[in-house]
């Protein structure tokens, strides 16, 4: 799986021996419509993870900022993962107020199916 660069944003992918695709977000996601690039990249990621029977961990503890358009893209990713049967964990820095507020809002997507979870770094 290739890394992604979109403006000031870089997403680095590392696969663990347990087939967990760790995607570390760095820089800033401040594009006006990040969904145009993120959706095809997420689709490729989901296909790859599904074929290998793995899971996804999105690490946001190194990102400096993301805008509301990025949140929309992340909500769509959560929905796609659940629909595709791929387990997704989002890791964030709870000590940063903006991250805590953003990810606390995503808690509504946590269900008892263990397909989506949030974790503090």
H-run or E-run covering 47: helix 35-52
Has this prediction a pTM greater than 0.85?
yes
Residue 26 pLDDT: 98
Q: What is the C-alpha end-to-end distance of the chain, expressed in Å?
A: 24
Nearest to 3 by CA among 91, 11, 86: 11
In this prediction, residue 102 has a pLDDT band, given cuts at 50, 70 and 90, of very high
Query: Rounded mean pLDDT of the chain?
Result: 96
Q: Residue 57 and residue 117: Cα distance in Å, rounded?
A: 10
4-120: CATH class: alpha beta
In this prediction, residue 22 has a pLDDT band, given cuts at 50, 70 and 90, of very high
Phi, psi values for residue 48, rounded to 5°:
-60, -45
Residue 103 pLDDT: 96
Look up residue 69 and give its two tokens: 């358009």
In the DSSP assignment, the letter for residue 36 is H
Q: What is the arithmetic mean of pLDDT over 104-114?
A: 93
């Amino acid at each position: 799986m290739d890394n992604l660069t979109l403006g000031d944003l870089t997403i680095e992918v590392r696969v663990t021996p347990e087939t967990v695709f760790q995607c570390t977000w760095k820089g800033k996601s401040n594009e006006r419509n990040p969904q145009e690039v993120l959706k095809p990249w997420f689709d490729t990621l989901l296909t790859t993870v599904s074929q290998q029977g793995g899971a996804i961990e999105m690490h946001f503890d190194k990102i400096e900022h993301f805008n509301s358009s990025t949140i929309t893209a992340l909500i769509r990713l959560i929905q796609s993962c659940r629909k595709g049967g791929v387990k997704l964990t989002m890791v964030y820095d709870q000590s940063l107020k903006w991250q805590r507020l953003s990810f606390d809002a995503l808690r509504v997507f946590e269900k008892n199916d263990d397909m989506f979870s949030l974790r503090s770094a």
